[in-house]
């Protein structure tokens, strides 16, 4: 890193402490997280300048995975090397992961004692939050007829055949189609070259990423071990999430619920609860690992799932950093991303119908409440955690009476 861009490296504890504070207070999803990072790390602490921060945001929007977490580990790397990246990730992810692991244990041990309405309220809120994600992503990624057609085709394909392979092929061919049919500006973007990672080592990280992605399914076929299977499922989900954290919902649903590893009810209850947590939505993986019906589950399953879903981010971010200033200006990449983003809206639409809506909307009351909370999310600046709590309480009261 050119020395004039940032101050000397920070201690790992300082990086961890700062990101732990952010992990405890960053509500509102990845866009809100990035705004908080800009305020706390760029403007207040001056850990990096605005130009470099913009580069990191651009990189992490380009790559699959959880954008805010990836920006965090990028900043940690810039200020403290590999151990700084790890400290930033642990600090930012730990609070939500711990809370969701505890919630997983509560669900396993006390779900029979928790009123139906309260749990169902979390599923209703999941309907509202996924509808909101589709609404906002459609306005961002479906701005012309070509994008809309890719979205419709992708949604139709996934509704007809919601398998991990079909989802992967849908994303892949949408990117390929986008590279062919879309036009983008040939204007290049200014850059800040990031050269702390040696080029050879960066290549190794990228090779490792693809080796694991394509090697794990083969390994599962040869050695059907449950631990390898769960790592494969979460690693693939973390590798294919384009377009925002909510897209992890259909990928995990296909990988985890369709296989019978986690029930629909447990999945949607946890997803609704995850909306109320600070920090990254990807910590939802820890909850799924805990409530898994098969080994590994519990605390071990939660830790394995969390590490597996985040490993692609470490490999890709640190592997792509040295090449980003060149890759971001390749026209075919820009065009492919347009197609990929349009397809992930379609994939999310498919997940909205099954399993989100079919499990969350059981009565006319549920439909009305989902619309009410969709409206509140869109037009009022009420904290998400408060809306989750309110939805659960309202549903609990309704189903207790009726």
pLDDT tens for 261-293 read 898 889 989 998 888 888 888 999 999 999 999
Question: Does residue 75 form part of some domain?
Answer: no
Residue 63 has what pLDDT?
82
Distance, in Å, from the CA atom of 161 to the CA atom of 139, rounded to the nearest integer, reads 26
Question: Does residue 67 form part of some domain?
Answer: no
Q: How far is residue 128 CA from its own chain's centroid?
A: 18
Summarised one tens digit per residue, pLDDT across range 198-243 is 678 888 999 999 999 999 999 999 988 899 999 999 999 999 887 5
Residue 42: pLDDT over 70: yes
Distance, in Å, from the CA atom of 68 to the CA atom of 345, rounded to the nearest integer, reads 19
Query: Token pair of 219, please?
Result: 């390994």
- Tell me, letter by letter, the H, E, C secondary structure of 266-293: HHHHHHHHHCCCCCCHHHHHHHHHHHCC
Question: Does residue 30 form part of some domain?
Answer: no
From first CA to last CA, the distance across the chain in angstroms is 63
Residue 215 has what pLDDT?
95
Find the DSSP H helices in 111-198. 116-141, 145-160, 164-181
Question: Does residue 12 form part of some domain?
Answer: no
Residue 191's domain spans which residues? 118-401
Closest CA to 391 of 375, 402, 181: 375
Residue 2 has what pLDDT?
42
Average pLDDT, integer, range 59-69: 82
Does a cis peptide bond (omega within 30 degrees of 0) precede residue 208? no
Distance, in Å, from the CA atom of 294 to the CA atom of 300, rounded to the nearest integer, reads 12
Residue 4: pLDDT over 60: no
Question: Does residue 99 form part of some domain?
Answer: no
Question: Does residue 299 form part of some domain?
Answer: yes
Residue 383, H or E segment:
none
Distance, in Å, from the CA atom of 161 to the CA atom of 167, rounded to the nearest integer, reads 9
Distance, in Å, from the CA atom of 76 to the CA atom of 41, rounded to the nearest integer, reads 11
Residue 328 has what pLDDT?
65
Distance, in Å, from the CA atom of 285 to the CA atom of 275, rounded to the nearest integer, reads 13
Residue 84: pLDDT over 50: yes
Domain count, the chain: 1
Average pLDDT, integer, range 159-172: 84
Across the chain, mean pLDDT equals: 86
pLDDT tier, 312 (very low <50, low <70, confident <90, very high otherwise): very high
Residue the block writes with tokens 């609990």: 396
Q: Judge contact between 67 and 317, C-beta under 8 A.
A: no
Question: Does residue 329 form part of some domain?
Answer: yes
Average pLDDT, integer, range 83-97: 94
Question: Does residue 70 form part of some domain?
Answer: no
pLDDT tier, 197 (very low <50, low <70, confident <90, very high otherwise): low
**Torsional class of 256: left (φ above 0), alpha (ψ -120 to 50), beta (otherwise):** alpha
Query: Considering Cα of 190, then 195, then 200, then 206, what sign does the dihedral take?
Result: negative
pLDDT tier, 325 (very low <50, low <70, confident <90, very high otherwise): low
Summarised one tens digit per residue, pLDDT across range 95-111 is 999 999 999 999 999 88
The helix/strand/coil state of 104 is helix
Residue 259 has what pLDDT?
81
Q: pTM of the predicted model, to two decimals? A: 0.81
Average pLDDT, integer, range 369-376: 95
Residue 89: pLDDT over 60: yes
């Amino acid at each position: 890193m050119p020395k004039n861009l940032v101050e000397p490296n920070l201690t790992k504890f300082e990086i961890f402490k700062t990101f732990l504070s952010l992990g405890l207070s960053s509500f509102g999803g990845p866009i809100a997280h990035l705004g908080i990072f800009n305020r706390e790390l760029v403007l207040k602490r001056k850990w990096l300048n605005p130009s470099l921060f913009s580069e990191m945001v651009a990189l992490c929007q380009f790559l699959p995975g959880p954008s805010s977490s990836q920006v965090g580990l990028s900043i940690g790397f810039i200020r403290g090397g590999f151990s700084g990246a790890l400290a930033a990730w642990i600090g930012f992810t730990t609070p939500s992961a711990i809370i969701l692991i505890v919630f997983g244990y509560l669900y396993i041990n006390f779900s029979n004692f928790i009123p139906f309405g309260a749990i169902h309220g979390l599923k209703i809120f999941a309907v509202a939050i996924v509808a909101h994600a589709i609404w906002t992503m459609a306005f961002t990624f479906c701005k012309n007829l070509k994008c809309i057609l890719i979205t419709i085709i992708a949604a139709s394909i996934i509704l007809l055949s919601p398998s991990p392979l079909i989802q992967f092929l849908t994303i892949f061919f949408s990117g390929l189609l986008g590279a062919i049919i879309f036009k983008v500006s040939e204007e290049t973007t200014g850059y800040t070259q990031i050269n702390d990672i040696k080029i050879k080592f960066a290549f190794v990280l990228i090779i490792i990423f693809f080796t694991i992605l394509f090697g794990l399914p083969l390994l599962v076929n040869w050695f059907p071990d449950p631990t390898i299977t769960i790592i494969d499922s979460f690693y693939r989900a973390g590798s294919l999430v384009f377009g925002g954290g909510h897209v992890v919902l259909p990928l995990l649903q296909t990988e985890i619920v369709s296989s019978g590893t986690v029930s629909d009810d447990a999945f949607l209850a946890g997803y609704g609860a995850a909306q109320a947590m600070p920090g990254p939505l990807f910590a939802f993986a820890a909850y799924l690992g805990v409530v898994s019906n098969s080994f590994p589950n519990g605390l071990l399953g939660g830790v394995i799932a969390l590490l597996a879903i985040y490993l692609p981010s470490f490999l890709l971010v640190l592997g792509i950093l040295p090449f980003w200033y060149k890759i971001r200006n390749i026209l075919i990449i820009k065009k492919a991303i347009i197609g990929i983003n349009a397809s992930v809206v379609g994939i999310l639409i498919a997940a909205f119908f099954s399993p989100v809506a079919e499990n969350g909307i059981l009565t006319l009351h549920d439909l009305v409440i989902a619309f009410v909370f969709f409206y509140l999310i869109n037009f009022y600046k009420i904290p998400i955690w408060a809306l989750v709590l309110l939805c659960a309480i309202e549903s609990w009261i309704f189903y207790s009476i009726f």
